[in-house]
Structure 1
Amino acid sequence: MNEERKQQYFAELAPNYHTLTGNTTQDIFAQFLDTYSPKLNITSTSTVHDNAAGPGTATQVLVQRDNAPKIIATDYAPGMIDTLNSIKSANTSANPAWENVTTKVCNSDDLSEYADGTFTHSISNFSLFTITNAVKSLSETHRTLKPDGVAVVLLWKRYAIQSLLAAAQDDVKGAGYAAKNAVPVNGPQYFERDVVPNQVVEAGFEQSKIETWQMDLVVDDEAQKEKWDGLYQFMTSTSVAMGSTRGWSEEEAGRWNEAVRWAMGEEKREFGGLKFEAWVSVARK
């Protein structure tokens, strides 16, 4: 995906990000924070960088916690920062922790406006795969962390949407179609466990100070119907649907929505819902 198409995609996604993603990226980060928070030691005196923040998926979790930190949220897509600013404005009166959130349009592989040792924590929540030069971005993370600072990187191991789109394509066009015509995903190399740890080491962190493990999330259509419906909407009413059905006849394209419903049902039969798997890597400077 070239730069212009990336910006168009992010601008399309930003206003309804939480709906269209089924809130999956925020929910997995919250799950991570619930289990790992004592080791992170994020307090009201911490300065956290929500790096390539999108609409602030990590920020929105952090401001709900006791002793919420100072947060600097950056993203290179203006639409994402605009959405985050709207969320901040809508919630500051009810939650004063939002007053400690600063936003900035900024590229993750060039943090030159931030001095060495600015942050106690840096969080990249399902965003590294959108960055052109991931190692450079991680190097900037290393540089801007304080001594003993912590970097957190979450990425997909299994992205349910990818599997669902492929299944729906094959349902309409026949088995094997998706293998040659699937919609590309950003950074498929990150599905492998060791890619991020290796990049983190290349960026300057020590191998012995890196932990990596898997976390899972299942979205079902009963307890989480709103999220289920949002994911369906993402696959049927955005540019993802157009990309999946490009070159199809009108009759074939007209079967797309039902094929997506069928694929979601098959996924539920296999996993109990739509199954997302994530890699979590935590590195200490």
Structure 2
Amino acid sequence: MSEERKQQYFGELAPRYSHLTGDTTQDLFAKFLESHPLDISSSSIIHDNAAGPGTATEILVQRAAPSGVSPRIVATDYSAGMIARLEEIKTAWPEVTVEAKVIDSSDLSCFEKDYFTHSINNFSLFTFTHPVQSLKETYRTLKPSGTAVVLVWKLFAVQGLLATAQDIVKGPGYAKANAIPVNGAQYYQEGFVSKQLVEAGFEKKKLETIVVEHVLKEDDRTKWDGLFEFMTKSSIAASSIKGWSPDEAASWPDAIKQAIATETQKHGGVKFEAWVTVAKK
């Protein structure tokens, strides 16, 4: 995908990002913070790197404001459309200082060395054109003893649900023979992010990787409906049924419902998992 097309795609996605993802990226980050609060204080300067519409920032301010803690959060993204959505967070939570800037993660030269106490990369690294260069910039701008947190997918349930639905309509084996390309498939491997962090300058002995799990349940209706819409009406849905007959395409929403029902029987909902790598400088 060209850079121009990426900008267009993320700009169009920005207003509906949280809805279409069922808030899964935000909920996984929130669950991580429950076990790893990161020692955030009013003197903290936090970089929400490749922030999107502010999924991590929103969780950070929701946790900080009620406790009287007021860190400074700098949220950056190379998509102006994504950054525009952050204005809503700034308005809703004036107690916490949030700055929003349009900046490419691979060039943070506007920030001096040893600037941030924390750097968060919440489900964005695998979309980068130059991921290691971006992590080098994370390392450079992080204070000594500062903490970087990188979240990527371990289990993105949507992929399995799409494949199951394809086989329901077209027969067993269709999905495997017509696999939908996965963006950053290597990131699903345990330890891949750690290798990139070491290449970027972090010490291996100062890395920790944990698994965080979230099950999206049907009674969380708004999020559930958003995820269903993503799998039936987005570009990924169009790719899943490309070349199908009109009758086959018309059966797609019901096939997705069947796939979700099977998943729910196994896990009580739709299960997502993240690799979370914590790096100390």
Q: Name the TM tier (shorter chain).
A: over 0.9
Aligned to 1:253: 249
The secondary structure found in structure 1 opposite 2:26 is helix
Could you tell me how far 1:125 is from its partner in structure 2?
A: 0.5
Distance 1:132 1:180 in 2: 28
Decide which of 148, 155, 173 is 2:145's aligned counterpart.
148
Could you tell me how far 1:207 is from its partner in structure 2?
A: 0.6
TM-score, length-scaled by structure 2: 0.95
* Residue type of the alignment partner of 2:127: T
The answer as to whether partners of 1:62 and 1:69 remain within 8 angstroms in 2 is: no
Aligned to 2:236: 240
Aligned to 1:30: 30
Could you tell me how far 1:240 is from its partner in structure 2?
A: 1.7
Could you tell me how far 1:251 is from its partner in structure 2?
A: 1.2
TM-score, length-scaled by structure 1: 0.93
Distance 1:12 1:239 in 2: 12
Residue 161 in 1 paired to residue 140 in 2?
no
The secondary structure found in structure 1 opposite 2:143 is strand
* Residue type of the alignment partner of 2:79: A
Aligned to 1:9: 9
Distance 2:9 2:174 in 1: 24
Structure 1 residues 247 and 272, CA gap change in structure 2 (3 angstroms): same
Structure 1 residues 184 and 12, CA gap change in structure 2 (3 angstroms): farther
Aligned to 2:53: 55
Aligned to 2:192: 195
Could you tell me how far 1:137 is from its partner in structure 2?
A: 0.7
The answer as to whether partners of 1:165 and 1:182 remain within 8 angstroms in 2 is: no
Could you tell me how far 1:86 is from its partner in structure 2?
A: 3.4
Residue 280 in 1 paired to residue 276 in 2?
yes
Structure 1 residues 10 and 182, CA gap change in structure 2 (3 angstroms): farther
Aligned to 1:217: 214
Distance 1:74 1:187 in 2: 21
The secondary structure found in structure 2 opposite 1:64 is helix
Could you tell me how far 1:182 is from its partner in structure 2?
A: 3.0
Aligned to 1:20: 20
Distance 2:95 2:252 in 1: 44
Could you tell me how far 1:57 is from its partner in structure 2?
A: 0.7
Mean Cα displacement is larger for which, 1-10 or 26-35?
1-10
In structure 1, list runs of 5 or more residues that go unmatched: none
The secondary structure found in structure 2 opposite 1:29 is helix
Q: Considering only aligned residues, what root-mean-square deviation do their CA atoms show, in Å? A: 1.3
Mean Cα displacement is larger for which, 182-191 or 227-236?
182-191
Could you tell me how far 1:105 is from its partner in structure 2?
A: 0.9
Question: Identity of counterpart residues, as a percentage?
Answer: 57
In structure 2, list runs of 5 or more residues that go unmatched: none
Could you tell me how far 1:173 is from its partner in structure 2?
A: 1.5
Aligned to 1:120: 117
* Residue type of the alignment partner of 2:71: P
